[in-house]
Amino acid sequence: MLVNIIRIILSSIASLQIGESGIISEESLDVIPLKLLEMGCLPGTEVELLQIAPLKDPIYICVNGSHLAIRKEMASQILITKI
C-alpha cells in the first residue's frame, strides 16, 4: 500500500520576493494583530508582496485588493504557504 504524503512548507510573508504570493495559514491567527484581521489578513486569504522599503522596513502587501504597509517584524511572524 502506497501512502502519499503531502508536505506543506510554511514560510513567512517576510520571506516572499516581490511579486510572490502566499496563503495565510491558520497557525498565524494568534499572532496577527486585530487591526490587520479587521483589514482582511485572515487565515486562508491570499497575500502578495508588492514592494520593500529602501531600508527593508516596512514592506507593502496586497490583501483582498487593499494595499497595506506592515513592519517586517510582524511580517516575519505571519506564516504562509507559498503559491
pLDDT tens for 31-67 read 899 999 999 899 999 999 999 999 989 999 999 999 9
Task: Kindly state whether residue 3 falls inside one of the protein's structural domains.
Answer: no
Residue type, 81: T
Answer yes or no: is 45 within a domain: yes
The predicted structure's pLDDT at residue 6 = 53
Question: What mean pLDDT, rounded, does the chain reach?
Answer: 90
Q: Would you say residue 1 lies in a domain? A: no
Euclidean distance between CA atoms 76 and 27, whole angstroms? 13
DSSP 8-class letter at 58: S
Find the CATH number of the domain harbouring 25.
2.30.30.90
Q: What totals of helices (H) and strands (E) does the chain contain, helices first? A: 2, 6
Residue 62 lies in a domain: yes
- Per the structure, how many domains does the chain have? 1
52, part of any domain: yes
Q: What is the pLDDT of residue 3?
A: 55
5 belongs to a structural domain: no
Residue 26 belongs to what domain range? 10-82
> What is the distance of C-alpha 41 from the center of its chain?
8
In a domain, residue 34? The reply is yes
